[in-house]
Amino acid sequence: MGELEEMGKIYKKFLSVGLIMLLLGFALLIFKPIGQASLYVGLAVFAVAFIPLEIAKRTARKMAVIALKGDRKA
């Protein structure tokens, strides 16, 4: 169970980082605080935000596999 708890913490961290980056990217695209450059920076941040979200998705899948293997042993 310790492995699942550790992976849960990693999952939450990557998910929160990814979602915050998406929010920042959307805010840059909508409010344009630095003019035309906000569009390019916002698109870059938005694209890079999918990296931690993908890592979180893969971690969640590994957690599910570990949990299902643990159910079968019990």
pLDDT tens sequence across 24-64 = 999 999 999 999 999 999 999 999 999 999 999 999 999 99
**What pLDDT does residue 16 have?**
98
Alpha carbons 74 and 61: distance in angstroms, whole number: 20
Per-residue pLDDT, averaged over 5-34, amounts to 96
- The alpha-carbon radius of gyration of the chain (Å, integer) is 17
The secondary element (H helix, E strand) that includes residue 60 is helix 50-73
Number of domains the chain contains: 1
Q: Which domain holds residue 43?
A: 2-73
